Amino acid sequence: MSAEYTPATIAEARRLRDALDREGKKLVFTNGCFDLLHAGHVRYLEQARALGDAMVIGLNSDQSVRLLKGPDRPLNNENDRAEVLAALRAVDAVVVFEDQRATSLIDAIHPHVYAKGGDYTVDSLNAEERAALQRAGSEIRILPLVPGRSTTSTINKMTAEKTGSRLRLAVLGSGEGSNLRAIVSSVQNGQLDADIVAVISDHAGSNFLKLAREAGLPAHFVDPGPNPRKLGEAAQKEIFDHLERARVDVVVLAGFMRILKEPVISAYSGRLVNVHPSLLPKHKGANAPQLAIEAGDAETGCSVHLVTAEIDAGRVLEQARVPVLPGDTPETLHARIKVEEHKLLPRVLSEWRQRGLPVRGAGES
Ligand code: GRF
């Protein structure tokens, strides 16, 4: 049996940096948890390594991963994580560190280039890390994350298959509630493995709420506040609290006619989905079927998309097409679009975990 891998020491990493420096070469440094390697990590590390002549990885210790990601992580201990990383062709050395931030390592190693993945900008880097990088004179390079690949999504897929864990859904709506009815039917006939744990409406007298009550679902009316078009701050917070209490995985906007803002938008980022009656990015906002007719479109349809702060602009998950027929009115067209919505929305929800989309408590990795 071969001996266990021993991670590099900080002094060894620094010696590597100084040796490269003498030759006018560059050391790249990056850091992270690297708990369960996937193609996204490998591609990221290849890109990072290409920024210099050798690369050292600062690997979060088991204790620091627990603090960053929760008590169930890491899946693999620090020596194993270091050994797997060190076997990659992009990686020259791995140093394990205890802090949640890599500040002390940056101070000790003085890398020429610091690579970071993801949604960061130079400005949104942790202030201490940024200060350490400035002291070290390191060039900061932000690399794009590879979409759809994350440790969390892999874990979600595995646990969903093993435990058959049901998605905890909240459905928000204001009107007729036909999409809610479609979701309820899919749950009842077993096509959608989910529990509807909250139904929320801003319209006390809506058919949406009536339907929810008739189906025996936990229905809740939220007073939207004094402005007839906007959802007031108190209502935004009340919805958030309600979702949190119900431990909701995914929030579905099914004809919710007011705009959701903070704190829901950020807290449920990636887990907040809307159905819209057009082929987005075409015809955003209200009256989409009418806009399609006015534009003379030969076809339109519906989109299930993630919700962000910008209206109808989040990532489209799936669409279905519907022809615009001669003589269509906005009403006849909308009715045909809804027939497709009622199939599309439950389907996307039933595939939620297989698509690697996040659920509650899933931080990205
Ligand atoms: C649907 O057409 C949906 O696309 C839009 O609002 C409508 C809601 O209909 N966002 P319903 O209340 O589900 O019948």
- What mean pLDDT is predicted for residues 128-137? 93
> Does 276 contact ligand 1 (Cβ within 6 A)?
yes
Q: How far is the CA of 337 from the centre of ligand 1 (A)?
A: 9
The length of the chain, given as a count of residues: 365
- Which domains occur in the chain, in start order? 10-152 (3.40.50.620), 158-350 (3.40.50.170)
Task: Tell me what pLDDT residue 203 has.
Answer: 96
Ligand 1 atom, smallest distance to 179 CA: 13
Q: Are 121 and 26 in contact (CB under 8 A)?
A: no
356 vs 200, higher pLDDT: 200
Task: Tell me what pLDDT residue 123 has.
Answer: 72
> Which of 341, 344, 345 should be mutated for ligand 1, with most atoms under 8 A from CB?
341
Ligand 1 atom, smallest distance to 180 CA: 13
Nearest 10 degrees: Cα torsion 308, 313, 317, 323: 150
Whether 106 shows a pLDDT value over 90: the answer reads: yes
- Amino acid identity for residue 85 in this structure: L
Task: Tell me what pLDDT residue 363 has.
Answer: 42
Ligand 1 atom, smallest distance to 254 CA: 13
Whether 207 shows a pLDDT value over 60: the answer reads: yes
> Does 52 contact ligand 1 (Cβ within 6 A)?
no
- Closest CA relative to residue 34, chosen from 106, 110, 108, 117: 117
DSSP line for 66-127? HHHH-TT--SS-HHHHHHHHHTSTT-SEEEEE-SSS-HHHHHHH--SEEEEESS--TTTS-H
Task: Tell me what pLDDT residue 194 has.
Answer: 95
> Does 305 contact ligand 1 (Cβ within 6 A)?
no
- Amino acid identity for residue 174 in this structure: S
Task: Tell me what pLDDT residue 115 has.
Answer: 96
Task: Tell me what pLDDT residue 34 has.
Answer: 94
- Provide the H-helix boundaries in 164-249: 178-188, 207-214, 233-245
> Does 128 contact ligand 1 (Cβ within 6 A)?
no
Instruction: Report the nearest-CA residue for atom 14 of ligand 1.
Output: 178
Task: Tell me what pLDDT residue 117 has.
Answer: 84
> Which of 275, 307, 333 should be mutated for ligand 1, with most atoms under 8 A from CB?
275
Strand partners, 29: 56, 114
- What mean pLDDT is predicted for residues 286-312? 96
Query: Which is the catalytic residue, given 41, 110, 112, 276?
Result: 276
Task: Tell me what pLDDT residue 152 has.
Answer: 67
Q: Are 156 and 356 in contact (CB under 8 A)?
A: yes
Q: How far is the CA of 190 from the centre of ligand 1 (A)?
A: 23
Task: Please confirm, yes or no, whether 276 is among the known catalytic residues.
Answer: yes
